[in-house]
Amino acid sequence: MAKIIITIALFISSFLSAQGQYEQGMGKAFGLWKEGKNAEASDLFERIASAEKLNWLPNYYVALVNTTTAFGTKDKEKINLLLTKAQNALDVEMAKYQNNAELYVMQAMINTAWIVYDPMTNGMKLSPKNMELYAKAEAIAPENPRVVFSKAEFQINGAKWTGIDTKPLCAQIEKAIGLFATFKPESAFSPKWGLDRATEALKNCK
């Protein structure tokens, strides 16, 4: 009897500790990221990804952390390294999930970073590609606020060159802000960023 109880208890405890490990790890990584320790946060997400092969979130965050870091970096060489790292992490998940709108938005974000890196060379090539990615994401999740917001934001940033009317795009941002209010993330660690950026972008609209 005692043996059985011990076995069950052991099973449960090891299960709980694995479960706890993910939660603890993700929590710690987000903590590092918040503290501005981006490299360490990326490292930890990378380690979690190595253990949680069936979960797309850790690699998604490796991509997100490195891409957002790249946006704030001036050294071209470093940007290239960060974006390559982001791309490699995202590729792993893209190969597994073709129906995940968040991954398409992430890919478009990496492309946007490349456009900022060298607009002359990459603008022509990647802008239409981004529109295609947003179209795919929209088809999968039309009510995802990040899809709606990112697409509108990308077009607004391009308006300087294309001269298209930004009014309907601003309306899209407003719509996105509404969607943020009702959006329910699938899990505690699922992407939920964007509201503050959308609010900021809306200010520039007026």
Segment near another protein (CB under 8 A); pick from 105-113, 142-150, 158-166, 188-196 = 158-166
* Contact between residue 134 and residue 186 where contact means Cβ atoms under 8 Å apart: no
Tell me the C-alpha to C-alpha distance, in Å, between residue 16 and each of 2, 6, 22, 30, 102.
20, 15, 10, 21, 29
Which residues in 46-75 contact another protein (CB under 8 A)? 46-48, 50-51, 53
CA dist 135 and 104 (Å) reads 9
Size of the site for another protein (CB under 8 A): 41
Closest C-alpha to 145, from 113, 116, 163, 172: 172
Backbone angle region of 36, left / alpha / beta, with phi > 0 → left and psi within -120 to 50 → alpha: left
The residue among 130 and 144 lying less far from another protein, judged by its C-beta, is: 130
User: What residues numbered 109-128 form the site for another protein, per CB under 8 A?
Assistant: 120-122, 124-125, 127-128
Angle at 105 between CA 90 and CA 93, to 5 degrees: 25
Distance CA 23, CA 202 (A): 34
C-beta of 48 vs 176, nearer to another protein: 48
Minimum CB separation of residue 115 from another protein in Å reads 12
Buried b (16+ CB within 10 A) or exposed e, 116-141: ebeeeebeeebbeebeebbebbbeeb
Q: For tokens 């060298």, what's the residue?
A: 118
Q: Does 93 bind another protein (CB under 8 A)?
A: no
Residue 81 found at the interface with another protein (CB under 8 A): yes
Judged by CB under 8 A, which stretch of 13-21, 166-174, 182-190, 192-200 contacts another protein? 13-21
- State which residue, 40 or 174, has the beta carbon closest to another protein: 40
With CB under 8 A as the contact rule, which of the stretches 38-46, 143-151, 172-180, 190-198 interacts with another protein?
38-46
Binding region for another protein (CB under 8 A): 5-6, 9-10, 13-14, 17, 21, 25, 39-40, 42-43, 46-48, 50-51, 53, 76-78, 80-82, 85, 120-122, 124-125, 127-129, 131-132, 158, 161-164
